[in-house]
Chains A and B, each alone.
Chain A
Amino acid sequence: EVQLLESGGGLVQPGGSLRLSCAASGFSFSTYAMSWVRQAPGKGLDWVSTFSGSSDSTYYADSVKGRFTISRDNSKNTLYLQMNSLRVEDTAVYYCAKKGGGYGENFDYWGQGTLVTVSS
């Protein structure tokens, strides 16, 4: 059974940093692209970043480029998101998601999410 378990969320002041983790199990982690998708309270889904499975390619939304860094440790089956220079508008539930079927980045499994609140 595929499981994705996020952790590391919490309350942080504007300008602060957090590192999110996503522990994966039940599939061959190293062979799949993994992503972070966020959802602000009461709002829709917003893609944040993707780390490819077949190479070291990374992709970012413009809104987080230069502030967030995605990484993965295939030996630990864990995906990370280092978030620096946090802004109030980064407040959201952050989900990690596994690449689904077919070509390209759709998401067939999602974690339960971890809440990041940026507030003074």
Chain B
Amino acid sequence: EIVMTQSPATLSVSPGERATLSCRASESVSSNLAWYQQKPGQSPRLLIYGASTRATGIPARLSGSGSGTEYTLTISSLQSEDFAVYYCQQYNNWPLTFGGGTKVEIK
């Protein structure tokens, strides 16, 4: 099983600042990597797939990058609606696995 490790667990950021979230896989996932956002009481929302392709309706201030075992989600200028928990997920191998999440909170 591929283990996905996200860091940091919590990220405190001021509105308008840049946020960088990391996701590391225990072996290469060949860019078969997705990012999701989840707000309290809501279902997850797909942000990024294929490591860098934004899903429908996702603003350009969110971007994904990386390859192999190291991936990054960057939010260039945090807006109030961006404060949430973010999960990465690999879909290169079965079983599908998620990272433990990064909570982005208001500083």
Contact between chains at A44 and B49 (CB < 8 Å): no
Contact between chains at A45 and B46 (CB < 8 Å): no
Contact of A44 among B91, B95, B100 (CB under 8 A): B100
Flag B74-95 by CB within 8 Å of A: 1 or 0 each.
0000000000000101011011
How far, in Å, is B8 (CB) from chain A's closest CB?
Answer: 15
The residues of A that contact B89 with a CB separation of less than 8 Å are: 45, 47, 106-107
| Known A46-B98, A111-B43; contact A104-B55, beta-carbon cutoff 8 A | no
A11 contacts the other chain (Cβ, under 8 Å)? no
CB contact list, A75-97 vs B, under 8 A: 95
B residues with CB within 8 A of A: 1, 32, 34, 36, 38, 43-46, 49-50, 53, 55-56, 87, 89, 91-92, 94-101
Q: A47-B95, A60-B95, A109-B46 are in contact. List 14 more A-B contacts (CB 8 A).
A: A44-B87, A45-B101, A47-B89, A47-B97, A50-B96, A62-B1, A95-B43, A101-B50, A102-B49, A103-B32, A106-B34, A108-B56, A110-B43, A110-B45
Cα A120 to Cα B103 in complex, Å, equals 33
Contact of B96 among A47, A101, A103 (CB under 8 A): A47
A residues with CB within 8 A of B: 35, 37, 44-47, 50, 59-62, 95, 100-113
How far, in Å, is B51 (CB) from chain A's closest CB?
Answer: 10
| Known A44-B100, A47-B97, A59-B94; contact A107-B50, beta-carbon cutoff 8 A | no
The residues of B that contact A47 with a CB separation of less than 8 Å are: 89, 95-98
Cα A49 to Cα B36 in complex, Å, equals 18
A-B CB pair tally, cutoff 8 Å: 68
11 contacts between A and B (CB under 8 A): A45-B38, A50-B96, A62-B1, A100-B34, A100-B55, A105-B91, A106-B34, A106-B49, A107-B36, A108-B56, A109-B46
The residues of A that contact B36 with a CB separation of less than 8 Å are: 45, 107
Contact between chains at B92 and A104 (CB < 8 Å): yes
The residues of B that contact A62 with a CB separation of less than 8 Å are: 1, 95
Cα A44 to Cα B98 in complex, Å, equals 8
Q: Which residue of B lies closest to A95 (CB)?
A: B43
Cα A107 to Cα B48 in complex, Å, equals 10
